[in-house]
């Protein structure tokens, strides 16, 4: 079940899959790691790795225009300085848990060394982002290993994108309910052409009291919220309600300059806010946007041809005065992706018996109907 099946109302026209992979060429792969040690349930694994390939596996190493935006910097996205410097992205975007960033970074380098030797001979700055899954996952145990990064890259494909508790989103929580992965897309028409804007996010943010769906408050739904219980917080010395983080990746096949990608990334918080969050000091909210058009125009590997033979490069772009439709599509995709992450999910029991309850879809449906919100 997805959010539209409740039904929840959304603006805009979705693509065929209503997913990140509606942008042609984009591939998504995941590795999910779930396991228990029957002798010590404090060591349980509820985690994983997600890989997003902007141009597919065969074109890894070719650049696309890109930009990042940070709403709140209590998080990590490696490789971001090079994206800022060049306005480009040429590697997979990996998403995992907070304490596995270094492991996945190493795993991406290993994958390049085995599969893209020429690129590995120069320099590699993998893009690895994270959110914290330590309520359900034993985050200090090295459940994620370097080969998992390569497995996620190798698993990447076009087609439907798994949502909920899979890949990097396996152990995440959102608004005090079971969170994880969500995705959505919108069709944008410009002139005689048709383009796609799509979002994938790893949702691990928000306090229960904040949740809104179609403008209807949902924070008082009659479902336990043990993640807000002071007992485990005091025991583990963790942060309070609303902490967590969200990573969002925005993709489009419309021709964009890096500055336009940045404008789209800056609209992600507006979509998040439509679901109720006000942002929190303990939440790492980092967003990346890229355009698959103009691929290769911003490549910047070591030069192999004499300066006298260099050819100038050109790029197309959507006129700035026609950007609003793409910005609105970003906001609408983000809102729906968050709610897909909540609706397409199930209650999970994790380390030390910690429980994250799924959003009660039946109660949400009833409340929306009674309020006129559905």
346 Cβ partners below 8 Å, 6+ apart? Answer: 164, 165, 178, 358
Q: Which H or E run contains 183?
A: strand 180-190
SS3 202: strand
Cα–Cα dist 171/28, whole Å = 19
Cα–Cα dist 145/165, whole Å = 19
CA angle 168, 182, 346 (to 5 degrees): 80
> What would the two tokens of residue 230 be?
């002071």
Residues acting as catalytic residues = 245, 283, 285
C-alpha closest to that of 301 among 86, 134, 122: 122
SS3 21: helix
291 to each of 25, 37, 252, 253, 258, how far by Cα in Å?
Answer: 11, 43, 5, 6, 8
CB 228 within 8 A of CB 243: no
């Amino acid at each position: 079940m997805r959010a539209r099946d409740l039904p929840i109302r959304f603006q805009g026209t979705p693509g065929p899959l209503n997913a990140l992979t509606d942008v042609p060429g984009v591939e998504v792969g995941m590795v999910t790691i779930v396991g228990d040690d029957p002798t010590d349930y404090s060591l349980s694994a509820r985690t994983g790795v997600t890989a997003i390939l902007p141009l597919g596996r065969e074109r890894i190493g070719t650049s696309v225009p890109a930009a990042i935006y940070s709403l709140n910097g209590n998080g990590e996205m490696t490789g971001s300085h090079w994206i800022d410097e060049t306005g480009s992205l040429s590697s997979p975007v990996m998403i995992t848990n907070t304490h596995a960033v270094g492991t996945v970074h190493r795993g991406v380098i290993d994958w390049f060394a085995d599969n893209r030797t020429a690129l590995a001979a120069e320099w590699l700055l993998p893009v690895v982002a994270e959110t914290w899954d330590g309520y359900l996952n034993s985050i200090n145990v090295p459940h994620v290993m370097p080969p998992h990064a390569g497995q996620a890259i190798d698993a990447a494909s076009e087609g439907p994108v798994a949502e909920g508790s899979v890949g990097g989103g396996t152990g995440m929580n959102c608004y005090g309910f079971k969170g994880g992965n969500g995705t959505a897309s919108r069709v944008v028409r410009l002139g005689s052409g048709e383009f796609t804007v799509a979002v994938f996010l790893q949702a691990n943010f928000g306090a229960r009291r904040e949740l809104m769906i179609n403008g209807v408050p949902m924070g008082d739904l009659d479902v336990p919220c043990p993640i807000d219980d002071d007992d485990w917080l005091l025991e583990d010395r963790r942060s309070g309600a609303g902490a967590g983080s969200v990573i969002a990746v925005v993709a489009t096949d419309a021709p964009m300059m890096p500055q336009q990608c940045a404008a789209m990334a800056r609209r992600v918080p507006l979509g998040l806010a439509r679901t109720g969050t006000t942002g929190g000091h303990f939440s790492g909210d980092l967003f990346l946007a890229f355009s698959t058009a103009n691929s290769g125009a911003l490549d910047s590997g070591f030069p192999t041809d004499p300066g006298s033979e260099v050819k100038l490069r050109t790029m197309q772009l959507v006129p700035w005065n026609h950007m609003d439709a793409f910005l609105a599509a970003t906001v609408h995709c983000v809102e729906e992706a968050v709610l897909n992450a909540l609706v397409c999910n199930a209650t999970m029991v994790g380390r030390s018996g910690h429980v994250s309850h799924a959003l009660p879809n039946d109660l949400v449906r009833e409340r929306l109907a009674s309020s006129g919100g559905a």
